[in-house]
Structure 1
């Protein structure tokens, strides 16, 4: 017990501060990746709902590819593919050696691309769940397309989307652990470092699991609160 308190303590020689810092990296990575995924997802949903063939086809391909390809492979492709491109640009400009992409930025991009494929389906289904009469009412009031979306459609769409987005968030939080493979020191990587340095893998991985659970529980409560607020005063099935 004393050894456990020493290993995970915040005082000098303990790993508690490092694990908490790594947890903040995990949270920042997940939040930024989720928000970027919302942008990709909104574009994908718009494409899937479009009556034009090319945008609909591109959105379909994007969703199919990144929901079907293993997430780890997507991370490798983005990191090494981007690094190769940067290296070639560097050589063209006279630089020598390998130029790697920033690991945090790559992680945000990878999570954004992956989660966007799932968020796109959530937004598409939520849009289709909004009563078609709402669009007719907007036309009757003389609202423009952008005004209809901003003032009427999107607020109602988000009511239906929040439960699905909560599930995508949990996926994002778990995917953040995969970013450790490209060298980012987030919670999973920090647990691996601690386990290797102290030869106490069970303690560090249990501590990491507990921290992931705390982050997941707190953020899930935020989504539940948002869902309750969105449906306040409304009757829904």
Structure 2
């Protein structure tokens, strides 16, 4: 049995913050992914080109580099532009905002490809039938496209979520007190890094295991009535 030397509550607080970062980042990633997928599939050359550049660039740059660029580079840029608007005080970017924005922006590119593939997997004849029946664009999307798209997207979505959760460990390098940073401070104070990083590893494993079972349930839920070959 591990002794956390009184740092248990601190690690727990860090775990809660890790979950908050994960969920907030996921929300941003879903939004950007849906927008990016629709842009890639649109007939607009400008929108499709911008979406292609977005997914290509983001997937080609390491997550750690992007995190540092957004936090430190963004801070420098904002403080250079602020005087132009008449604001002279130093602006310090909130690590939480920087963290979820970066992770959400990164995984928005992966979600774009996941959602694009899911949309293409839906039979276009069903969409045409919806329009022929007199449905509006919103009705066709919500009643025909979205339910089937979710079923096709869930496997890729689940993989992206699991990787996103583990990527949140990067926020510790910009000073956000997630469980990795909390464990690092506890390890430094007690000189027992193995103990605290094992606890962190177990916490991540618990989060991903629960996520896997929830995702499996959703896949089964959205596959009801679907004949498997």
Matched, 1:120 2:134: no
Taking structure 2 as the reference length, the TM-score comes to 0.95
Map of 1:235 onto structure 2: 227
Stretch of structure 1 that moved more, 197-206 or 13-22: 13-22
Map of 1:95 onto structure 2: 88
Query: Unaligned regions of 5+ residues in structure 1, if any?
Result: 8-12
**Matched residues, number:** 228
Provide the rounded CA distance (Å) in 2 between the counterparts of 1:127 and 1:44: 12
Is 1:86–1:100's contact at 8 Å kept on the other side of the alignment?
A: no
Matched, 1:221 2:213: yes
- CA displacement, residues 10-55 of structure 1 (integer Å, 9 cap, x when unaligned): xxx5111111110010011001101110011111101111122110
Matched, 1:171 2:157: no
1:51 paired residue among 32, 43, 46: 43
Map of 1:26 onto structure 2: 18
Map of 1:156 onto structure 2: 148
Map of 1:73 onto structure 2: 65
In the TM superposition, what is the alpha-carbon distance from 1:90 to its structure 2 partner?
Answer: 4.3
In the TM superposition, what is the alpha-carbon distance from 1:222 to its structure 2 partner?
Answer: 1.4
In the TM superposition, what is the alpha-carbon distance from 1:89 to its structure 2 partner?
Answer: 4.2
Map of 2:204 onto structure 1: 212
Matched, 1:193 2:217: no
Alpha carbon RMSD of aligned pairs, Å?
Answer: 1.4
Runs of 4+ in 1 over 2 A off after TM superposition: 88-97
Provide the rounded CA distance (Å) in 1 between the counterparts of 2:118 and 2:82: 44
Is 1:45–1:124's contact at 8 Å kept on the other side of the alignment?
A: yes
In the TM superposition, what is the alpha-carbon distance from 1:88 to its structure 2 partner?
Answer: 2.4
Taking structure 1 as the reference length, the TM-score comes to 0.92
Query: Unaligned regions of 5+ residues in structure 2, if any?
Result: none
